[in-house]
Structure 1
């Protein structure tokens, strides 16, 4: 089972290009990446936890 990397990011942390490079690298190591915005974590934590749980069920 691949490991899961959970990234919590703000809108200005990284560019889409930087995110893509990082994701490609992590996936080359056999890791899966899921990202959430800060606002999602702060405003709908239960939903974020459900999403993470769903990823882990895959």
Structure 2
């Protein structure tokens, strides 16, 4: 697995304690901001987009 940089602030979003790195062309990297040395989940951008759209539709 490649080591992904989540340090570039202009392409990292903080969403409720979760950091989402969008600075890699073929990967969206997600991690817990309180545990920066912990595991990173990597997904393809299309899957991330589907996940986010699903969350938006699930809101009351």
TM-score using structure 1 length: 0.34
Bigger helix share: 1
More strand by share: 2
TM-score by length of 2: 0.34
Tell which has more relative contact order, 1 or 2 (C-alpha 8 A, sep 6+): 1
